[in-house]
Structure 1
């Protein structure tokens, strides 16, 4: 899935003097406050962090409360979806007007009816609404289906994705991957069918070549015998 990246950052965390005897815990608490929020500095939603090192020499700041700053080197896992990227998520709701998806367990996404390609038609099966492909009856999108969709836009404030199922390479991940394997197998079979006749032709040419050589040899032998008889 696209939209994920790792960013290396040099940070300075400011700690209250009352936490001076628990610096590590205070630092982790500050970093945890960044989780699942959009950061303009890093241009993404912070999903996880890994502290590589932090400076033991803290700088005390002047003021009424003398906070001290601790310098860190951190690896941040960011969720930063951009237009035309491919995301994957689980369908949680299907209606005639839209498909609702959850991405990575926290970000909601919606795909409106106008952004669903005409190949899909909404039907009611066993009391539930599902989208079924007209071209491939087994290509079904329902509640619980993992789908791959295209990003149209991303609302950074509410962490909401607006998606699209217009491209042909979007839809049910299970069906897309299985269909891709079938297509790959068909391509390999087609290549084999093309190669086999060529090999047969080459082998036939080789056999014909041997026969031609043999005939030439026989003719040359006959010509030598005839020549010997003529001389005698």
Structure 2
């Protein structure tokens, strides 16, 4: 999936003097506060992190409460979808006017009717709603389907994505993967392959597996609770 990237960051975490005996926990608490929020500095939503303390000697800041700064090297897993990128998510609601999706379990997305290509026809049979392709009868989208769609824009404040199913290389992931040779252009095939291999390639090489990182982050947050 496109929009995911690993970024190296040099950070300074400022710790209150009352936390001087529990510096590691204080640092992890500060880093955990970055998770699942969009940050302009990183140009993305922080999904996970791996950190290493660079300097054991902290810099003391003058003032009534002498905070001390700890320098860190961190690898951040970021989600930064841009227009025309391909992202993937799970369909959670269907209507004749729109398709609603959850991306990576935390970001919402919507595709309105004008951004759904005409080949897809809305149907409601016995209360079960779906979109089915007129040209490819086995290509359908319903609640629970994992789909690949193109990003039009993103509201960074509420983490809401506006998407499109107009390109031919969008739709049900399972159908697209089984019928990749039917995708119309070489360029679109390349983009699908790149989006599928991003996590397996870059993230695996440069960072511990994503599931492990997210699990580690969650565990840290639990441990840090007072």
Aligned partner of residue 20 in structure 1, secondary structure: helix
Question: Greater relative contact order: 1 or 2 (C-alpha under 8 angstroms, separation 6 or more)?
Answer: 2
Q: Tell me, which stretches of 5 or more residues in structure 2 are unaligned?
A: 184-226
After superposition, residues 65-104 of structure 1 pair within 5 angstroms as: 65-104=65-104
Rounded Cα–Cα distance in structure 1 between residues aligned with 2:54 and 2:160: 34
The reply to whether residue 160 of structure 1 matches residue 163 of structure 2 is: no
Partner of 2:146 in structure 1? 146
Q: Distance in 2 between matches of 1:36 and 1:55?
A: 27
Q: Does 1:10 align with 2:45?
A: no
1:193 aligned partner: none
Partner residue of 1:58?
58
CA RMSD of aligned residues (A): 1.1
**Aligned ranges for residues 178-193 of structure 1 at < 5 Å?**
178-180=178-180
1:129 Cα deviation after fit: 1.3
Q: How many residues align?
A: 183
Whether 1:116 and 2:116 are equivalent positions in the alignment is: yes
| Unmatched 5+ stretches in structure 1 | 185-232
Q: CA deviation at 1:128?
A: 1.6
List, as ranges, runs of 4+ consecutive aligned residues in structure 1 with deviation greater than 4 Å.
Answer: none
Q: Is the 8 A contact 2:53 2:70 kept in 1?
A: no
Alpha-carbon distance in structure 1 between the residues aligned to 2:27 and 2:126 = 52
TM-score by length of 2: 0.79
How big is each residue's C-alpha offset from its partner over 1:10-49, in whole Å with a ceiling of 9 and x where there is no partner?
A: 0000000000000000000000000001110010000000
Larger Rg: 1
Greater helix share, structure number: 1
